[in-house]
Amino acid sequence: MNAVADHDTAMVAGPVLGDGDFQFLRGFVYQYCGIALSEQKRQLVQGRLARRLRALGMRGFGEYCELLRRDPGSELDELSSAISTNVTAFFREAHHFDLLAGELLPRWLEQKREGGRLRIWSAGCSSGEEPYSIAMVLAEALERCGRTVDAKILATDLSPAALAAARKGVYPLERLEGVSPERRRRWFLRGEGEYAGLACVHPRLRELTAILPLNLLHEWPMQGPFDAIFCRNVVIYFDQPTKQKLFRRYARLLPDGGHLFLGHSESMHGLSDEFELIGRTVYRKKPA
């Protein structure tokens, strides 16, 4: 998970996070979210959680930690949302989408039988820009191939706010910076009147995308197989054992030759021998 950047640590007047509560929160966040918070993150955690405390009507961190001890599950999503960042963009790391559109999708669609199944998972989808970017490329590839394929994108995240935004699928026009003019015209509906300045994703993209809550460190209900998994800019603050375990679990949901996309500063180096690197942060599952 991407912890917030240090410039977010501006002091916010409010409750002070003492050492005991900070140590408890560090342990809790590590156990439940896989994030190893360094000692230096105390100000950051204090600032971020102060908002949450206000929303809960709590006056101090002691009260908040008590809630976590009593009922860890109840606050998990809000806590991890508060300390992680949901930064994302349409066609972020555009080379992944070029590979998908230019090489992988045409090949996979060619190989599928009529009515065959194609599945892509956007794990850590944030507010939807990543799965909808995949959906644009997929919809175009399906149109080009002209065959009936049962294609779907699964988009999951643990942040309730991010999931709500993804489901809404409405973005300020300036968020569409990475989308080509042609795709803007094809895949977005421009808002008018009170919606001026906003763009809504085309119903076809929604139809291709199922958006669901899922903490990657918990049980997964789906069986796979997926043709590809996008897990980009998510594992960056997970510690090594957490990443290792996650990559092993991804390998189980991918067929031989299935693809795993990581973020630009993420790597599998030394963590898994089940994948081979085939491009910039693109991995392919090796045959067993």
Tell me how far apart the alpha carbons of residues 2 and 85 are, in angstroms, rounded to a whole number: 5
Tell me how far apart the alpha carbons of residues 181 and 178 are, in angstroms, rounded to a whole number: 9
Would you say 175 and 90 are in contact if contact means Cβ atoms under 8 Å apart? Answer: yes
- CB nearer to ligand SAM: give 24 or 91: 91
We find the least distance from the C-beta atom of residue 168 to ligand SAM, in angstroms, to be 15
Q: Which chain residues interact with ligand SAM by CB under 6 A? A: 1-2, 33-34, 84-88, 92, 124, 126, 130, 157-159, 162, 214-217, 232-234, 263
- CB nearer to ligand SAM: give 144 or 168: 168
- CB nearer to ligand SAM: give 17 or 262: 262
We find the least distance from the C-beta atom of residue 107 to ligand SAM, in angstroms, to be 24
We find the least distance from the C-beta atom of residue 112 to ligand SAM, in angstroms, to be 26
- CB nearer to ligand SAM: give 55 or 87: 87
Tell me how far apart the alpha carbons of residues 38 and 26 are, in angstroms, rounded to a whole number: 8
Alpha helical stretches, state H, the chain: 19-33, 42-56, 61-70, 72-83, 94-99, 105-111, 129-145, 160-168, 181-187, 203-208, 240-253
Tell me how far apart the alpha carbons of residues 253 and 55 are, in angstroms, rounded to a whole number: 39
Residues in the chain: 288
We find the least distance from the C-beta atom of residue 213 to ligand SAM, in angstroms, to be 8
φ, ψ of residue 147 to 5 degrees: the values are: -110, 165
Tell me how far apart the alpha carbons of residues 44 and 56 are, in angstroms, rounded to a whole number: 19
Report the catalytic residues. Answer: 48, 157
- CB nearer to ligand SAM: give 33 or 228: 33
For the chain, count helices (H), then strands (E). 11, 10
Would you say 156 and 130 are in contact if contact means Cβ atoms under 8 Å apart? Answer: no
